[in-house]
């Protein structure tokens, strides 16, 4: 294995796995696999980039650090030469979040001296300019991310936000150096006194320049965009054999599970509901035990072949009301278990295509599916929308998964995902 990635949630893991598998032309990408959790056995030796999916984005600091170090040590055992700590392109955390502490632990374990933080993903509108994170041209704290129930982002200055979390001082390599290319970036990095460095990027060309400048970096942190230019470094050194697994399509029963409360996902649900059956999960009913796994299974089995969708998504006010009544952690745990148990039962009932929206929901579902099929590795298929690939799980009778971050995807994402899973392209 050449590159090892530690991702703090499952949809983010799919996102960066997709980036590494695609690469850029003419060099192409790496043979990439995603793992739901830290494997307890060695990876296939043909895998060149391994992405370990954790569920640590909102975990307590000590737990997130411990999980990150365990993942790092497994990846080191696979022979990785470069490591990436992947978090959301909107830097989802809080002032007491774990991005800083996890990065410090990984850097200390590896002895890394300069560690870049670059969550930019221009393809989806995430850019960094003089240390400030923008979403579709709006400052992060004015983009809607300030309303996120678990990680409200109330400051667009990522340098300042990271400094709240980290003991290390935080510096900046600004766009002024980045636009001059890889050599200028490398020089700027050498001249920065701080160990942690925010990296500006407003275009894919900037990310490619960063990729070349970081060809020898032990540890890099950021969103999936920071990986855009990394595969070609290994291809040019003839370390990579290039190419990946072939996805030819998977047909069969399908279901959609949505647990994200983002505006994008709620819009996608509205679009899907115009021509497909949907089921709004009553969260108080889940908490009381009136809404169960069987409730969802009954809904799906009543609508075969119609791309049925069950969702727990709600407006920020709805979410706050439910969390205020039952407690944030209790609600999250109940919903995660509901989605995981439902997915496990769907696999047992020979469902072949599952589309999932929301990081926490995707984590619960991916782990349940992997355990049900006894397959720790997920291979990469075609890209549905930027940052969201089709995943294939299982060898003898595989199923297709799509794990979508809440804010990703076009309005008709759900229907198109199921169609691509079946067609294979």
Residue among 163, 10, 24 at smallest CA distance from 87: 10
Percent of the chain clearing pLDDT 90 (strictly above): 74
DSSP string across 48-95: SEEEEE---TTS-HHHHHHHHHHHHHHHHHTT-SEEEEE--TT----T
Q: Which of 148, 116, 117, 114 is nearest to 133 (CA)?
A: 117
Residue range 254-423 forms a domain whose CATH class is alpha beta
What's the pLDDT score for residue 329?
A: 84
Q: 41 near 223, Cβ under 8 Å?
A: no
Phi/psi for 277 (5° steps) reads -70, 135
Q: What is the mean pLDDT of residues 274-294?
A: 95
| pLDDT value of residue 425 | 83
Instruction: Return d(Cα 166, Cα 344) in angstroms, integer.
Output: 39
Render pLDDT for 376-403 as a digit per residue (tens, 0 to 9).
788 888 899 988 999 999 878 899 999 9
Beta strands 32-36; 378-385: pairing state: antiparallel
Confidence category of residue 243, pLDDT binned at 50, 70, 90: low
Cα distances from 176 to residues 130, 144, 163, 213, 384, in angstroms, run 9, 28, 22, 15, 34
Q: Are β-strands 132-135 and 126-129 bridged in parallel, bridged antiparallel, or unpaired?
A: antiparallel
> Is 331 a residue whose pLDDT tops 60?
yes
Instruction: Delimit the domains of the chain by residue range.
Output: 3-236, 254-423
Exposure string of 209-240, with b = 16+ CB inside 10 Å and e = fewer, is bbbbbbbebbbbbbbbbbbbbbbbbbbeeeeb
- Residue pair 351/253 in contact (Cβ under 8 Å)? The answer is yes
List residues bridging with 82 in a β-sheet. Answer: 3
Coil/strand/helix, residue 276:
coil
C-alpha 222/C-alpha 209 separation (Å) is 15
Helix (H, G, I), strand (E, B) or coil at 135: strand
- Of 81-95, 104-118, 128-142, 389-403, least confident by mean pLDDT is 389-403
The answer, yes or no, to whether residue 242 has pLDDT greater than 70, is no
Whole-number pLDDT of residue 149: 77
Per-residue pLDDT tens for 54-97? 989 999 999 999 999 999 999 999 999 999 999 999 999 999 99
3-236, superfamily in CATH?
Putative sugar-binding, N-terminal domain (3.40.50.10840)
pTM assigned to the model? 0.83
**How far is Cα 363 from Cα 167, in angstroms, rounded to an integer?**
29
């Amino acid at each position: 294995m050449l590159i090892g990635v530690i991702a703090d949630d499952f949809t983010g893991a799919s996102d960066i796995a997709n980036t590494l598998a695609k690469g850029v032309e003419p060099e192409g990408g790496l043979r990439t696999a995603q793992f739901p959790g830290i494997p307890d056995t060695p990876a296939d030796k043909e895998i060149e980039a391994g992405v370990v999916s954790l569920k640590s984005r909102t975990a307590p600091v000590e737990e997130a650090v411990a999980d990150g170090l365990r993942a790092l040590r497994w990846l080191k055992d696979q022979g990785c030469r470069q490591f990436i700590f992947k978090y959301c392109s909107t830097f989802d955390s809080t002032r007491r979040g774990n991005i800083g502490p996890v990065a410090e632990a990984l850097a200390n374990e590896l002895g890394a001296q300069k560690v870049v933080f670059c969550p930019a993903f221009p393809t989806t509108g995430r850019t960094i300019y003089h240390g400030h994170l923008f979403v579709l041209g709006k400052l992060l704290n004015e983009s809607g991310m300030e309303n996120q129930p678990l990680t409200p982002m109330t400051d667009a200055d990522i340098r300042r936000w990271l400094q709240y979390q980290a003991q290390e001082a935080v510096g900046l390599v600004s766009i002024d150096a980045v636009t001059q290319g890889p050599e200028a970036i490398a020089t700027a990095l050498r001249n920065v006194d701080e160990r942690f460095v925010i990296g500006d990027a407003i275009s894919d060309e900037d990310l490619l320049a960063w990729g070349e400048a970081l060809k020898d970096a032990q540890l890099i942190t950021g969103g999936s965009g920071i990986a855009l230019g990394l595969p070609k470094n290994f291809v040019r050194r003839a370390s990579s054999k290039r190419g990946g697994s072939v996805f030819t399509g998977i047909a069969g029963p399908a279901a959609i599970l949505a647990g994200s409360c983002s505006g994008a996902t709620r819009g996608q649900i509205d679009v899907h509901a115009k021509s497909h059956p949907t089921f709004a999960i009553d969260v108080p009913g889940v908490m009381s035990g009136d809404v169960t796994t069987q409730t969802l299974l009954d809904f799906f089995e009543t609508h075969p072949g119609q791309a049925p969708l069950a969702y727990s998504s709600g407006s920020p006010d709805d979410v706050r009301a439910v969390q205020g009544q039952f407690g944030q952690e209790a609600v999250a745990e109940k919903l995660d278990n509901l989605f995981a148990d439902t997915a496990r039962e769907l696999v047992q009932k020979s469902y072949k295509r599952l589309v999932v929206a929301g990081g926490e929901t995707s984590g619960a579902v991916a782990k349940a599916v992997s355990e049900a099929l006894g397959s720790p590795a997920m291979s990469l298929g075609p890209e549905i929308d930027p940052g969201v690939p089709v995943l294939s799980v299982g060898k003898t009778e595989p199923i297709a998964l799509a794990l979508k971050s809440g804010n990703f995807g076009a309005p008709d994402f759900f229907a198109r995902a199921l169609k691509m899973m079946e067609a294979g392209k």
